[in-house]
Structure 1
Amino acid sequence: MQKIATALLSYGMSGKVFHAPFLELHPGFELIGAWERSKKKIHEDYPLVKSYGTLDEVLADPEVELIIVNTPTETHFDYAKQALLAGKNVLVEKAFTTTAAEAEELRDLAIESKRKLTVFQNRRWDSDFKTVKDIFDKQILGSIVEAEIHFDRFNPNLSAKPHKEVKSPGSGVLKDLGPHIIDQALVLFGFPDSLFADVRSTRQNSVVDDWFDITLFYDTFRVRVKSSYFVREPLPSYILHGKKGSFLKSRGDVQEDDLKAGKKPMVTDWGKEPEFRSGVLHTEIEGLEVREHVPTLQGNYYHFFEELFQYVKKSGKNPVPADDAVKTMKIIEAAIESSETKTHITF
């Protein structure tokens, strides 16, 4: 199997937790190295790979076929653009860019340069979302009337990572957790007709947004996406109400916690939620009222990397096309405008 030689643009949490373990696991990838500015840590885990001192070194390396842009959001556009112009295929972390215009430029540049470009919306491969999508796709709730997707936490303290708490085009929860649940809403329901949003700061001394509530308006139903750092007792993270019934599901995917704990991912036995986190389905099936717990489907980010391999090497489908990320950025921009002007935004 011809491997995809891959370089990371940082080896912090995302590189160590979300990318390197799956690049090591998948037989179609080879981790070549990482750009490390000050702390040289990749050799602690992968002693045989390269530690690049500059971005130019990564771009000039003829071995490198794929570059993963996993740096702070405000750098994504510049680094991804340089990588595409250098003839590399590119995987960009969320948020894809800081503006919709930047997202469109990267999308168009990838097409012009005949390079492969995708976005790491890994939460599509979470166990909880896969289960919600399965219930939705089976249409056993009837026509959807309303839905909610939450990504809530209880964390009143400011982050120890300076770039997360300094006001910049890429900071704030709307561009951190927002892309996850906005993308999930778009996967399920498509692009809305309009939206209304409230975006604000709630933590003491915070200068970035850490709370948002966005209502997406569709012709016959509404979808709410929401995030807060002051939710000690959370609601279900997924709430779907249809004309036949409802489905409620907690955010229960275990992959991030397991990866942070140092567990190595596997192709098969990985990403299984505990049974007590199963969702509740209350609906009508063939004229009978049914209320039951639904076993959670298995999540696995490995499948993203398998689709990425097929996309780059076998002309398979793009796991997350750049155009999907353009739509997410349009929602984020409209949400900011709606909150600032206190108006309803129509697309």
Structure 2
Amino acid sequence: MPSAFPKLRLGLIGYGYAGKTFHVPLIRSTPGLELAAVASRDAAKVHADLPTIRVHDTPAALIADDSLDVVVIATPNDTHAPLAADALRAGRHVVIDKPMALDLTEARTLIALAGDSPGTLSVFHNRRWDSDYLAVKQGIDEGTIGEVMHFESHIDRYRPTVRSRWRESAGPGAGIWYDLGPHLVDQALQLFGLPERVHAALATQRAGGLSDDWAHVRLDYGARQVIMHASMLVAGGARRFVVHGTRGSLIKTGADRQEAQLLAGLTPGAAGWGDDADTLTVIDAHGHERALPVAAGDQRRYYAALRDAIAGKSSWPVTPIEALAVMAVIDTGFASQREGRALPLPLTDAERAAFVPARS
């Protein structure tokens, strides 16, 4: 890989919502990283925000740019695996915005390619560094409510009008389970490991909807049940997390603010970045409530860990096997919806043995 530059040089493929809103500001505000190039069909759009950046007109041209250390893929979901495969064959380190692929077969193919490439594969599961999740995770890790028996995670919004964009189209990779499901699944797997079964219900509820916009998915862990819910028709929002254990409950109502801050133009790391004034409510076995402060979230930690991993100083922020496990749940969720029953994860014994949650 190139080594003549003082910073790791990253090239971004795609300058849509994910690339512009998340990857660009997070990369540019992480020490030791440089956003060196963007691949986009609309150079004027890129230069309006980044006037000095080099713009390649095709993904292939960016992947072939030997000055780059890392290729970041933030394109429509159905292009993730093909572009990542090309970048791995070119020997680049690769970051894919979630989901890593459309199905488990594509995901396995990518991991095999990464094993034969000098580059490394990682997936941008950025919600591991959200304030709401980290607060709940800390409460669980510290045994605040004993053994967790019931866990609910919601990403609910009120967007009754179907928008003209690929995420809400009828095309491959569209729909809420591909869009928000990976966030919900990755957090659950980091907390509880691999489930025994997946039982999913998906629906299209909005008038004119072309893909699923409601998902209610249960992960079975024996007596413990994990419920993940995402919807576009929840006015006023819902509690982000509700957790019940053998010695009490945890409730986190408000969601992490980093996406809203990025949309408002706040630079990651600026004063107030990731701050969360919504406390974590702890209810003990006697019904007594107390409020615990919530530490700030910081999704830059993904890119800082990526930087350090490439330098050989730390582990990868999201490993290929962790991303594969997420893809297995997503894939099984679609199968469960089709068959109308709970299904086991179709992972091999070797894949199950390799999966170890980061718990960082």
Measure the CA separation in 2 of the matches of 1:272 and 1:281: 20
Structure 1 position 219, deviation (Å): 2.0
Local SS of the residue matching 1:174: helix
Alignment of 1:246-325 (within 5 A): 246-266=249-269, 269-274=272-277, 277-283=278-284, 290-325=288-323
Partner amino acid, structure 1, of 2:232: Y
**Distance (whole Å) between structure 2 residues aligned to residue 228 and residue 56 of structure 1:** 36
- Equivalent position to 1:66, from 38, 49, 70: 70
* Pick aligned residue for 2:204 from 198, 201, 205: 201
Does residue 218 of structure 1 match 2:221? yes
Distance 1:256 1:160 in 2: 21
- How far is the alpha carbon of 1:110 from its aligned partner? 1.0
The two structures have a TM-score, normalised by structure 2, of 0.91
Distance in 2 separating the partners of 1:338 and 1:254: 33
C-alpha displacement of 1:315: 4.5
State how many pairs are aligned: 341
Aligned to 2:234: 231
Aligned to 1:75: 79
In 2, the alpha carbon distance for the partners of 1:2 and 1:268 equals 27
Q: Does 1:142 align with 2:140?
A: no
Q: Is the 8 A contact 1:146 1:221 kept in 2?
A: yes
- How far apart are the structure 1 equivalents of 2:235 and 2:271? 33
TM-score for the superposition, normalised by structure 1: 0.94
Q: Which amino acid aligns with 1:185?
A: A
Q: Deviation per CA, 1:102-153, whole angstroms, max 9, x where unpaired?
A: 1111112112213111111111111101101100110111111111111111
Among residues 36, 40, 46, which one is paired with 1:36 in the alignment? Answer: 40
Kept after mapping to 1: 8 A contact 2:10/2:36: yes
Task: Report the Cα distance in structure 2 between the residues aligned to 1:333 and 1:241, rounded to whole angstroms.
Answer: 28
Deviation of 1:346 (Å): 2.2
Q: Verify the 8 A CA contact 2:13 2:72 in the aligned structure 1.
A: yes
For 1:246 and 1:107, the matched residues in 2 are separated by 39
Structure 2 portions without partners, runs of 5+? 346-360
What corresponds to 1:343 in structure 2?
Answer: 341
Aligned counterparts, 1:159-198, within 5 A: 159-161=163-165, 163-198=166-201
Q: Please, which moves more after superposition, 170-179 or 323-332?
A: 323-332
Say whether the 8 Å CA contact 1:104–1:323 is kept in structure 2. no
**Structure-2 separation of matches of 1:298 and 1:79:** 34
Q: Secondary structure at the match of 1:181?
A: helix
Shift in Å, 1:268: 7.3
Residue type of the partner of 2:344? Answer: T
Q: CA deviation at 1:39?
A: 5.1
For 1:268 and 1:77, how far apart are their aligned partners in 2? 37
The aligned counterpart of 1:95 is 99
Paired residues of 1:215 and 1:223 also in contact (CA < 8 A): yes
How many Å separate the matches in 2 of 1:325 and 1:33? Answer: 26
What is the rounded CA distance, in whole Å, between the counterparts of 1:39 and 1:306 in structure 2?
28
Give the Cα separation in 2 of the matches to 1:187 and 1:197: 19
Are the aligned partners of 2:204 and 2:211 in contact in 1 as well (CA < 8 Å)? Answer: yes
Give 2:14's match in structure 1, choosing from 10, 14, 20: 10
What letter is aligned with 2:266?
Answer: K
What CA deviation, in whole Å up to 9, does each residue of 1:88-109 have, x standing for no partner?
A: 1000001111001111111121
Task: Tell me if the contact between 1:70 and 1:93 (Cα under 8 Å) persists in the aligned partners.
Answer: yes
> 108, 130, 136: which one pairs with 2:134?
130
Q: Which residue of 1 aligns with 2:350?
A: none
CA distance in 2, matches of 1:338, 1:13: 30
Alpha-carbon displacement from aligned partner over 1:307-331 (angstroms, at most 9, x marks no partner): 0100112352010112111111111
Give the superposition deviation at 1:44: 2.1
Change (3 A) 1:216 1:294: same
C-alpha deviation, 1:20, in angstroms? 1.4
Give the equivalent residue in structure 2 for 1:243.
Answer: 246
- Give the Cα separation in 2 of the matches to 1:231 and 1:39: 37
Q: Which moved further from structure 2: 43-52 or 294-303?
A: 43-52
Q: Which amino acid aligns with 1:322?
A: P
Match of 2:58 in 1: 54
**Unmatched 5+ residue regions in structure 1?**
none
